[in-house]
Amino acid sequence: MSSAKLRVLLIDDEPLANREMRRLLTAHHDDVEVIGECRDADSARQAIASSRPDVIFLDISLPGEDGMALLASLDAAPMVVFVTTFNDKAIRAFELCAMDYLLKPVNPRRLSQTIMRLSTVATPAPVDDTQPLLRLSDQVFLQGPNEQLWFVTIAEVRLFEVAGDGTRVIFGRGIATTPRALRTIESRLPTNAFVRANRTQVVGLAHVREVHPWFAGRLKLKLDGGEEVIVSRRQARAFALHRSL
């Protein structure tokens, strides 16, 4: 566990809910510091950019833009814990890479488990500088559905995307998974062949068939496997640079 406290931003439109979360987090004062509160998506977006919290505790129900839309709009986001009364949104929350999903009223024991997990993830793993960069001709060993095993050439991969704590790999012959984190895989990919599209996806440039302007300065890509990927505004500039080479 890291010796530094986790810096937490609370995002809930109900002042009493924020107050109750502050009270519950006092039991974890050695590990957590609440640095602020927000009551809507606009103020939360500004606070995330300016204060750079380690974790946001985020309600789904916010005035105007809801919590999930807020999270999806961020180019880069801290760790996220949803705190909500909705019991049917968990799958979507984890698709957005939420670290946890707590139902109101929050159970103190359940919150303790969340804090432990956050603290563990926040402790950086040792960097392995011995792993060489992958080449397009290299093959990797992956496991597909029903315990099917694949040897996949890097050039075949059209999309890497976050899947829980690991990564989903979409390639010409199917879909497989690896327990390695997306950021770890990305660090080993040939940079002239793959580009980060958004917080959760890395695209194989050779598999992009169509590029369309999208809302708010973003791009929509259509891949040769039929997938559609939204490139964030920040990453759109990097993508345009790759395409112009």
pLDDT of residue 95: 56
Please give the single-letter amino acid code of residue 201.
Q
The answer as to whether 133 is a domain residue is no
Give the dihedral sign, CA 91/97/114/120.
positive
Paired tokens of 155? 């050039």
pLDDT of residue 131: 60
Residue whose pair of structure tokens reads 């109900």 in the numeric block: 14
Q: Which of 69, 91, 122 is the last residue of a domain?
A: 122
Q: Are residues 21 and 46 in the same domain?
A: yes
Q: Binning pLDDT at 50, 70 and 90, where does residue 127 land? A: very low
213-237: pLDDT as tens digits: 988 888 999 999 999 999 988 888 7
Give the CATH number of the domain where residue 228 resides: 2.40.50.40
The answer as to whether 28 is a domain residue is yes
Q: Which of 122, 149, 176 is the last residue of a domain?
A: 122
Q: Are residues 65 and 160 in the same domain?
A: no
The answer as to whether 127 is a domain residue is no
Residues contacting 91, CB < 8 A, separation 6+: none
Is residue 96 scored above 90 in pLDDT? no
Q: Which of 93, 122, 151 is the last residue of a domain?
A: 122
Edge-to-edge order in the sheet of strand 208-213: 208-213, 219-223, 228-231
Q: What angle do CA 191, 198, 158 make, to 5 degrees?
A: 55
Instruction: Write down the mean pLDDT value for the chain.
Output: 85
The answer as to whether 128 is a domain residue is no
Q: Which of 9-13, 85-89, 195-199, 228-232 has the lowest mean pLDDT?
A: 85-89
The answer as to whether 93 is a domain residue is yes
Q: How many domains is the chain partitioned into structurally?
A: 2
Higher pLDDT, 236 or 17: 17
- SS3 letters across 116-149: HHHHHHHCCCCCCCCCCCCCCCCEEEEECHHHCE
Q: What angle do CA 120, 124, 130 make, to 5 degrees?
A: 135
Q: Work out the burial of residue 195: count CB atoms within 10 Å of its CB; fewer than 13 is exposed, 13-18 middle, 19 or more buried.
A: buried
Q: Are residues 150 and 235 in the same domain?
A: yes
Boundaries of domain holding 54? 6-122
Q: Are residues 104 and 168 in the same domain?
A: no
The answer as to whether 33 is a domain residue is yes
156-196: pLDDT as tens digits: 999 999 988 789 999 987 898 888 888 889 989 988 899 99
